[in-house]
Amino acid sequence: MNERAVFATRFGAIATTVGSAVGLGNIWRFPYEAGVHGGGAFMICYLIFVFLIGVPLLCAEFCMGRGTRSNIFGAYRKLGGGRIARVAGPLGIVASLLILSFYSVVAGWTVEYCISSATGSLDFSNTTAGHGQFVDLTTGWRPMIWTIIFLFINFMILICGVTKGIERASNILMPLLFLLLVAFCINSFFMPGFADGINFLFTPDFSKISSSVLLGAMGQAFFSLSLGLGCMMTYGSYFNDRNRLGRTAATTAILDSMVAILAGVIIFPAVFSFDLSPEAGPTLVFEVLPYIFNQLPGGMIWSTLFFLLLFLASLTSTVSMSEISITYFCEEKHMTRRNATILSSVIALVGGVLCAMSFGPLSDFTIFGMTIFSLFDYLSSNICLPIGGFICSLFVGWWVDKKFLRDQLTDFGKFRFPLYRPLLLCLRWLCPAAIFLIFLNSIGLL
Ligand code: PHE
């Protein structure tokens, strides 16, 4: 992606930003996290974090990116935070590489499911099929091979410079994914477990809100909105001057949460209809979906189409997270783009293979009670991204010149931004305090 490129249209800007945000985080991670953390209680915390922390931080990252036309390092530096860039920058790079590693494993599953559906080898004909298929798929060396294949596709896209092509394709295909999700939702309505599933997802049991639910919901909000690692800053740097940043932030958050909720409405009724456990963890969606496809006439076609679109949605997200480390190696370490791409991909490959092995040969190897896969996920989403967001909110709230912020939000006074004061309040107090308190709470100090 060319650093100085600017999105020509508002639709292009929103579609690409949503392309980064919508991915496995919504369709795979949200249902499994909600399942593990008690459904409704998690959902309500998640939505509160998206709108009270996520939207203000999206605005902050967009302002920093568009106002400086730089990546995370340049953005902090140009706004007078050179020292802060040395903390926030590497933190973002580490987070992006950790995410890329485990994300590629799951994206690898989507490739395998897509191909197996198309060739008819994915058999959903009996009640243990979902789990059995998944076990077959993830034991031994197969997941590693699919992870490597996925990372190779990602690498080729980056090295051939066809990211624009992928983005253009996703502008058309993402609405299609959305329609497909709506169709599956309608199908859920007719399942025997519909009421139980909906109840589980939407009825909050406040007694279930614990420190792990709060931390998990906050991590999910950051992960799903691609926040805290400079991704949205980089995208903001491509916005044109007429982009209303506040509106773009709100639209992104609304669309992103809608996709997550749709995924929940598809998965949980099926979980309850087929007597499965909502607490299955990272494998939940892949075990449940085959049951749904099995019910539908022409299941094979639905399944192929769905996994193909999910694969593309993952690709638009991995391209955006790879871009963070590539720009860092290019601009800060003065590497050529080609070498930077090779280096990032090799790091992700090593991480990806380790994560893939967590479902096979390394399934018994745990650190702090977590497999390598879960540890990478936990460290990046629940720790690195919120710290990145904490730094960004304090920096924009207190340090950055308020005229700069106001100019960015109102396009130099061309239109009004009535929520300026509440936004500043969130960035100065609410976001940093919430993140800090949730951290204290989760280490048992509160
Ligand atoms: N938001 C993406 C998703 O939901 C994942 C992502 C995280 C992308 C961080 C870029 C940066 O799938």
Confidence at 2, pLDDT banded by 50, 70, 90: very low
* pLDDT recorded at residue 124: 63
Ligand 1 atom closest to residue 256's alpha carbon, by position in its atom list? 4
Ligand 1 pocket, Cβ-based, cut-off 6 angstroms: 20-21, 23-26, 99, 223-224, 226, 229, 231, 317, 320-321
The residue assigned the tokens 């995208």 is 235
Report the C-alpha gap between 337 and 343 in whole angstroms. 10
- Classify each residue of 320-335 as buried b or exposed e, where b means 16 or more C-beta atoms within 10 Å of its C-beta: bbbbbbbbbbbeeeeb
ipTM: 0.98
Report the C-alpha gap between 70 and 102 in whole angstroms. 27
Mean pLDDT of 408-437: 94
Top mutation candidate among 101, 321, 380 for ligand 1, by most atoms within 8 Å of CB:
321
Ligand 1 atom closest to residue 223's alpha carbon, by position in its atom list? 7
Distance 190 CA to ligand 1 centre (A): 32
Ligand 1 atom closest to residue 317's alpha carbon, by position in its atom list? 8
The domain 10-442 having CATH identifier 1.10.4160: the answer here is yes
DSSP state of 369: T
Ligand 1 atom closest to residue 20's alpha carbon, by position in its atom list? 8
Q: Whose CA is nearest to atom 9 of ligand 1?
A: 226
* pLDDT recorded at residue 140: 74
Neighbours of 400 (CB within 10 A): 20
- The structure's pTM equals 0.94
Does residue 8 surpass a pLDDT of 70?
Answer: no
132-191 pLDDT per residue, tens: 677 777 777 888 999 999 999 999 988 887 667 777 777 788 889 999 999 999 999 999
Q: Whose CA is nearest to atom 4 of ligand 1?
A: 25
Nearest of 43, 177, 110 to residue 318 by alpha carbon:
110
Q: Whose CA is nearest to atom 11 of ligand 1?
A: 226
Q: Which residues face 370 on adjacent strands?
A: 367
Report the C-alpha gap between 15 and 3 in whole angstroms. 18
Q: Whose CA is nearest to atom 7 of ligand 1?
A: 226
Domain ranges of the chain: 10-442
Average predicted confidence (pLDDT) for the chain: 91
Residue 270 tokens, joined: 């099926």
Q: What 3-state DSSP class applies to 370?
A: strand
Top mutation candidate among 104, 224, 385 for ligand 1, by most atoms within 8 Å of CB:
224
380-416 pLDDT per residue, tens: 999 999 999 999 999 999 999 999 999 999 988 888 8
How many Cα atoms sit within 13 Å of 249 on the Cβ side? 26
Ligand 1 atom closest to residue 227's alpha carbon, by position in its atom list? 9
Q: What is the torsional sign of CA 437, 443, 444, 445?
A: negative
Report the C-alpha gap between 257 and 254 in whole angstroms. 5
* pLDDT recorded at residue 308: 93
* pLDDT recorded at residue 241: 86
Ligand 1 atom closest to residue 324's alpha carbon, by position in its atom list? 11
> Dihedral, CA atoms, 67, 70, 72, 78, nearest 10 degrees?
-60
* pLDDT recorded at residue 163: 67
